[in-house]
């Protein structure tokens, strides 16, 4: 009965995507990210001078509108290079490659900011499901699923010691009227917060975690404790 209720409400979709994204991707790449950033910084000391930005900045548009090319999403975002690849044998695929791209983001004052940034790829699945008659996902249900995906992923990552301080979730709702540089402003806002946090630490001021431009409290989504993602079992099952 509980399974049928979950399927009817489609709550299991967002939870499953969040866990799959974490276990199948983020848990693999994030613990290796700092080392890649250090290698890049040694060769390019002026580009990633602020260690607080040595994170994977994960874009979560609640519309699930994901661009394969970030430069087409916003002309103020320009691809620079890739970090060192991680190659692993994974699920029968030998030498599976994991890598992240470094982008230069131009702000309103024509200053360049550099960081590793990419979309949360499971949002492409949510969008595709809303376009497929078999999935029967309405636009409203897709929005709720995107919110639940964000909340679930946030809770999962908060409980992950190996991924601590290696990521920044950037959840946002796009404005109704198109703005050509909305995305670059969102990313730069977070980068500025990270820079201020590092300056505060250097000055001896106790640091605080920067709030996201769209945090959990603003998502207006009621989720009970039982709905939130639960930790993986460690008893072998």
CATH number at residue 51: 3.40.50.12100
In a domain, residue 233? The reply is no
Q: What Å distances lie between residue 103 and 49, 137, 184, 218, CA to CA?
A: 15, 33, 11, 28
Average pLDDT over the chain reads 82
pLDDT band, residue 130 (cuts 50/70/90): confident
What is the CA angle 24-119-176, rounded to 5?
A: 140
Q: How many domains does the chain have?
A: 1
Residue 234 lies in a domain: no
Angle at 60 between CA 59 and CA 65, to 5 degrees: 100
Q: Is residue 10 part of a domain?
A: no
The pair of structure tokens assigned to 172 is 């946002």
Task: Give me the residues paired with residue 190 across strands.
Answer: none
In a domain, 213, yes or no: no
Domain membership of residue 181 as a residue range: 17-203
**Is 222 within the bounds of a domain?**
no
- Rounded-to-integer distance, Cα 207 and Cα 59, Å: 24
Specify the pLDDT at position 230: 46
Strand-pairing partners, residue 56, are: 116, 167
The rounded distance, in Å, linking the Cα atoms of 183 and 11 is 28
In a domain, 237, yes or no: no
The verdict on residue 4 lying in a domain is no
pTM: 0.82
Beta carbons of 221 and 234 less than 8 angstroms apart: no
* Residue-level pLDDT at 155: 96
In a domain, 64, yes or no: yes
Residue 167: CB atoms within 10 A of its CB come to 19
DSSP H or E stretch at residue 86 = strand 86-90
Task: Please state, in angstroms and as integers, the Cα–Cα distance from residue 139 to each residue in 135, 142, 150, following that order.
Answer: 12, 5, 17
pLDDT of 212: 45
């Amino acid at each position: 009965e509980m399974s049928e209720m979950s399927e009817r409400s489609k709550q299991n979709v967002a939870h499953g995507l969040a866990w799959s994204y974490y276990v199948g991707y983020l848990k693999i790449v994030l613990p290796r990210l700092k080392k890649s950033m250090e290698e890049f910084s040694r060769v390019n000391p002026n580009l990633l001078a602020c260690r607080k930005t040595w994170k994977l900045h994960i874009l979560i548009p609640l519309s699930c509108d994901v661009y394969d090319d970030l430069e087409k999403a916003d002309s103020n975002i320009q691809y620079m290079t890739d970090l060192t690849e991680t190659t692993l044998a994974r699920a029968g695929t030998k030498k599976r490659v994991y890598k992240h791209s470094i982008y230069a983001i131009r702000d309103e004052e024509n200053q360049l900011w550099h960081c590793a940034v990419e979309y949360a790829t499971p949002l492409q699945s949510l969008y595709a499901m809303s376009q497929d008659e078999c999935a029967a996902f309405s636009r409203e249900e897709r929005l709720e699923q995107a919110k639940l995906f964000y909340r679930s992923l946030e809770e999962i990552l908060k409980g992950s010691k190996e991924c601590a301080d290696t990521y920044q979730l950037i959840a946002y709702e796009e404005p109704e009227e198109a703005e050509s540089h909305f995305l670059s402003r969102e990313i730069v806002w977070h980068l500025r917060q990270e820079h201020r946090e590092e300056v505060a630490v250097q000055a001896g001021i106790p640091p605080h975690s920067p709030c996201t431009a769209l945090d959990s409290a603003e998502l207006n989504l009621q989720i009970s404790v039982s709905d939130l993602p639960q930790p993986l079992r460690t008893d072998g099952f």
